[in-house]
Chain A
Amino acid sequence: MSDILQSLIDIVGEKGVSNEPEELWFYSRDPGVLAPHKPDYVVAPKTTEEVQKIVQLAGREKIPVVPMGNGMSLAGLVIPLKGGIVLDMKRMNKILEVNPMGRYAVMEGGTSQGALKSYLQKNHPTLRHSLPDAPPTTTIAANVSLHGQGRLTNQYGFNSDMVTGLEMVLPTGEICRIGSPSIGPYWFSKGPTLPDLSGLFLGWLGATGIITKVGLKLFPNKKIRDVELFVTDRVELVPQILYKLTHLEVCEDINVWFQPKPQMFLGNFHVTIFFTGDTEDEIEFKRKMIWDSLQEHMDAKDGGFMSVQYMKSTLLEMPGRTIADFADVPKGGGFEYSGPIALIEHYPQYAAKVVELAQKYNVLYASAARLISGGHAMMFSISFAFNRDDAAMMERVEKALDEAMTFALDMGGIPWKPNHKEQKMLLERMEPNARKLLLMIKKNLDPQGIMNPGNWEVNA
Chain B
Amino acid sequence: MYQLKFDQKVCASCRSADCLLKCQYMTFAGHKEAHGEMMKIMKGKDSRVLNECMTCYACEEYCTRGNHPFYLISEKREEKGLFTAPRPITNQWINMTQMQGKCLVGNVKDKALSCCYIPDLGPLGTGEIFKDVADAGVFGAEFMCPAVHTHFARMSVIKERLPIVIENYRKLGVKEVICLHDECYGTLTSIASAYGMDVPFKPVYYLDFVLQRMKELKDKIKPLNITVAYQRSCSNRLIPDKHALVKKIFNLIGVKAPKRTYQDENALCCAEILRSISGYKLADDVQKRNIDDMLAAGAEYCVFNCPACQSSLSEKVAKRGLKPVHIIDLCKMAIGEKERGTT
Contact = CB atoms under 8 A, between A and B. Distances in A.
Contacts, number: 65
Contact of A304 (B85, B100, B315): B85
B91 interface: yes
B91 to A, nearest CB: 6
Interface in B75-93: 83, 85-89, 91-92
A303 B88 contact: yes
Nearest to B276: A304
Given A264-B96, A288-B280, A302 B89 contact: no
Interface residues of B, number: 23
Contacts of B319: 280
B312 A287 contact: no
A298 interface: yes
B89 A231 contact: yes
A300 to B, nearest CB: 8
A223 interface: no
Contacts of A291: 279-280
A186 B83 CA distance: 61
A303 to B, nearest CB: 6
A301 B86 contact: yes
A232 B88 contact: yes
B95 interface: yes
Contacts of A232: 86, 88
B92 A305 contact: no
Contacts of B100: 263
Interface string B304-334: 0000000110110001000000000000000
A303 B312 contact: no
A266 interface: yes
Contacts of A301: 83, 85-87
Interface in B258-279: 272, 275-276, 278-279
Contact of A287 (B85, B96, B280, B315): B280
B338 to A, nearest CB: 21
A221 to B, nearest CB: 21
Interface in A187-234: 231-233
Interface in A299-354: 301-307, 309-310
Contacts of B96: 263-264
B98 interface: yes
A295 interface: yes
Nearest to A231: B88
Contacts of B88: 231-233, 267-268, 302-304
A58 to B, nearest CB: 55
B95 A304 contact: no
A280 to B, nearest CB: 7
Interface in A233-268: 233, 263-268
A307 B86 contact: no
A231 to B, nearest CB: 4
Interface in A65-124: none
B98 A263 contact: yes
Contact of A233 (B85, B91, B98, B312): B91
8 contacts: A233-B91, A265-B92, A267-B88, A280-B319, A287-B280, A291-B280, A301-B86, A302-B88
Given A232-B86, A304-B276, A307-B272, 14 more contacts: A233-B88, A266-B95, A268-B91, A287-B280, A291-B279, A295-B279, A301-B83, A301-B85, A302-B88, A304-B85, A306-B89, A307-B311, A307-B312, A309-B314
The 3 residue pairs across chains A and B that have the minimum distance between CB atoms: A304-B86, A264-B96, A304-B89
